[in-house]
Amino acid sequence: MEWWHYTFQPEPTPGTYYDVPVTAPESPMPDAAIERLMQRYEGDVPGASLLVLHDGEERVHRGYGRSDLEHGIEAGAATNYRLASVSKQFTAAAILLLAQDGTLAIDDRVRRWLPSLPSATDAITLRQLLTHTSGLLDYEDLMAEAYEGQIRDAGVLALLERENRLAFPAGSAYRYSNSGYALLALVVERASGMTFPAFLHSRIFLPLGMHDTVAYVAGGEEVSNRAWGYSEIDGQWQRSDQSSTSAVLGDGGIYSNTHDLARWDAALYDDRLLSDASRALAFGKQVEVAGEGAATHYGFGWRISGDTRWHSGETIGFRNVIVRWPAQRLTVILLSNRNDPAPYQTALDIGRRVLED
């Protein structure tokens, strides 16, 4: 209303003061547009944890939905999800750290470290394992249809030892390979003299303060604040947390949360963990990718599309993604404990929303 429509009356309670808090909230306020994009994860459904970092500041950091439907536990920033193939960037970093140490070389032949592999693998190098250009057969295709129990990284090696053939000559093509990253985890063990989980803990997680992150082995260190995976079947959410391949560590066995991944993201901007040369290798356009949607190149454990560096992770009951815009100092991390939807497009939409502000 215009000012001349008001009448001026005495204050009804001139001696009363109202205590209205004006302090800023402890956590960042969510953006309405971002909340709309995340609406499908809200409520009594398998949920998600979202972190948006821009110029080192948290734009959004919160959980949606449930990490455990049976017990009604809400998802949050401390919820630990199975990262699936987002784990590959840590496997690649472990190899790069050993190369920095001088313990191995990126162009070592894989049979130097795993001599039990058949002669067909003679020409395969660690670089080719890192870039999915080795030609190794997919271990999932070699497993018996009714596989008993869970296969581990050593089991992947045992399967490949029996196959003296490749899908294509080493270095001649790109084909995404979980087999290659399972072997890389074993190379880390042979070269370091440590178990793969112990190496990751001592050389990456502990130095960066990633205290809740673990390469999970049943019977070993438990996962705190664990999210359980779910799949929608006939309109109902059913727990579907593990499969016969869920115990392979090198290609997807790490659990982590958005708090810890913020520390990981920060370390990728400087040399506190990886040298400039190592980060150039990890994020460099090592090989051209065809037939895999948005990715145009692959580095070492990272996909490259335009000005983004990213990787998704999909396994039974989990869908995750980390997307980085390094030039704009922007990162979107979206972790979810459900089989649908794939979060990559949502993360891109959130990132564009932030960049438009």
122 lies in a domain?
yes
Residue 148 confidence (pLDDT): 81
Output the pLDDT for position 1: 34
Q: According to the model, what pLDDT value does residue 260 have? A: 98
pLDDT at residue 182, as a whole number = 98
Domain membership flag for residue 47: yes
DSSP 8-state secondary structure symbol assigned to residue 119: G
Is 15 inside any structural domain? Answer: no
- Intervals of the chain under pLDDT 50: 1-14, 16-27, 29
CB 150 within 8 A of CB 242: yes
- Would strands 303-305 and 308-315 be described as parallel, antiparallel, or unpaired? antiparallel
- Is 94 within a domain? yes
pTM here? 0.90
Burial bucket for residue 241 (CB in 10 Å: 0-12, 13-18, 19+): middle
Q: Which domain holds residue 147?
A: 35-56+75-228+240-356
Within a domain: 162: yes
Q: Is residue 22 part of a domain?
A: no
Q: What is the pLDDT of residue 22?
A: 38
What pLDDT is recorded for position 14?
47
Number of domains in the chain: 1
Which residues have C-beta within 8 Å of that of residue 125, sequence separation ≥ 6? 106, 107, 108, 109, 110, 170, 171
Q: What distance in Å separates the CA atoms of residue 71 and residue 218, rounded to the nearest whole number? A: 22
Domain assignment present for residue 155? The answer is yes
Q: The domain spanning residue 251 has which CATH number?
A: 3.40.710.10
Whether 14 maps to a domain, the answer reads no
